């Protein structure tokens, strides 16, 4: 992956201005690029203080060789929704975490991505952009480059990156839509559970009723913020915990996990600038409920 820029005006004085203002390269990545001498002006290595003029051609070589040696490669069937040189998006099934842990050292989604990268001889770190709970299904996006990761994180912070979920809630709803603005913090006596608290971090979820069922409601959630367990906590907060959520509600005979699916993401491609919309169909266990 290379970043390229042709100087056509006097907008920038030197190389560093282009890297910081046009490409929005972080200080951390810029330090790495300088150390490895990957910045070229008219095909010659230059320092970032080099002056630029109209007609100059800047290239930044991002083809770092990286490893994720701490992740064991495990062959897992991946449902790839989208892939190009820069991104990989997979539809994660329920009951599998995104990251390895003590209990899931070899059977997380990241283990499967590591095996896939190895199989195509792609030497890259595993960089998930959005994270889902183990028992939440749906779209997870991986960046294949540090620069792409930084660009997508900026989009998340500016709400350009949109995440939409389908959930089945306990009970029926009277409102067609509502915004839940309730700050979330870690519960004092738990290492996992979160709760709504005035001392928490701002958390905003937008709910839209799709349809009421006999004793449940199918809803669409759009996240404005991305706190840990946000939709699960907010659903409990409004008195309609997600069906099957044993942490914030109760066990269900209808589904063996929380009925929550990350079905759509929208973002701007960091390189092509194309507006990307990707969807993952509902899994069978949620489809059977509606």
Residues designated as active site: 133
**DSSP single-letter state for residue 22:** I
Give Cβ neighbours of residue 192 (< 8 Å, ≥ 6 apart). Answer: 247
* Distance of alpha carbon 247 from alpha carbon 237, whole angstroms: 13
Count of CB atoms situated within 10 Å of the CB of 285: 18
> DSSP per residue over 47-82, as a string?
-TT-B--TT-EEEEE-------TTS--------EEE
Tokens of 72: 């064991």
CA distances from 67 to 15, 84, 123, 126 (A): 29, 19, 6, 8
User: What six digits make up the tokens of 102?
Assistant: 């003590």
HSE, CB side, 13 Å, CA atoms: give it for residue 138: 23
HEC profile for 195-242? Answer: EECCCCECCEEEEEEEEECCCEEEEEEEECCCCCCHHHHHHHHCCCCE
- Where does residue 6 rank: exposed (0-12), middle (13-18), buried (19+ CB within 10 A)? exposed
Q: Encoding tokens for residue 109?
A: 């989604």
DSSP string, 97-136: -SS--STTSSSSHHHHHHHHHHHTT-----EESS---TT-
């Amino acid at each position: 992956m290379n970043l390229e820029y042709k100087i056509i005006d006097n907008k920038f004085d030197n190389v560093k201005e282009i890297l910081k203002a046009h490409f929005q390269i972080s200080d951390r990545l810029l330090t790495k690029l300088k150390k490895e001498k990957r910045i070229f002006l008219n095909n010659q290595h230059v320092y970032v203080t080099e002056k630029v003029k109209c007609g100059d051609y800047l290239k930044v070589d991002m083809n770092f060789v990286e490893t994720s040696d701490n992740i064991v490669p495990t062959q897992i069937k991946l449902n790839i929704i989208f892939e190009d040189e820069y991104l990989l998006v997979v539809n994660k099934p329920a009951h599998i975490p995104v990251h390895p842990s003590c209990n899931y050292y070899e059977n997380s989604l990241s283990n499967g991505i590591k095996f896939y990268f190895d199989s195509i001889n792609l030497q890259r770190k595993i960089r998930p952009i959005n994270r889902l709970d183990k028992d939440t299904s749906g779209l997870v996006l991986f960046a294949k480059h540090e620069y792409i990761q930084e660009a997508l994180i900026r989009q998340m912070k500016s709400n350009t990156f949109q995440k939409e979920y389908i959930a089945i809630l306990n009970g029926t709803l009277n409102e067609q839509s509502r915004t839940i603005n309730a700050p979330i913090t870690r519960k004092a006596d738990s290492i996992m559970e979160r709760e709504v608290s005035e001392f928490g971090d701002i958390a905003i979820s937008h709910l839209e009723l799709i349809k009421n069922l006999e004793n449940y409601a199918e809803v669409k959630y759009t996240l404005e913020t991305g706190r840990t367990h946000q939709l699960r906590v907010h659903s409990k907060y409004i008195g309609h915990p997600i069906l099957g959520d044993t942490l914030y509600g109760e066990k269900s005979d209808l589904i063996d996990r929380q009925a929550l699916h990350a079905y759509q993401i929208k973002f701007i491609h960091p390189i092509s600038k194309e507006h990307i919309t990707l969807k993952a169909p509902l899994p069978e266990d949620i489809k059977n409920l509606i």
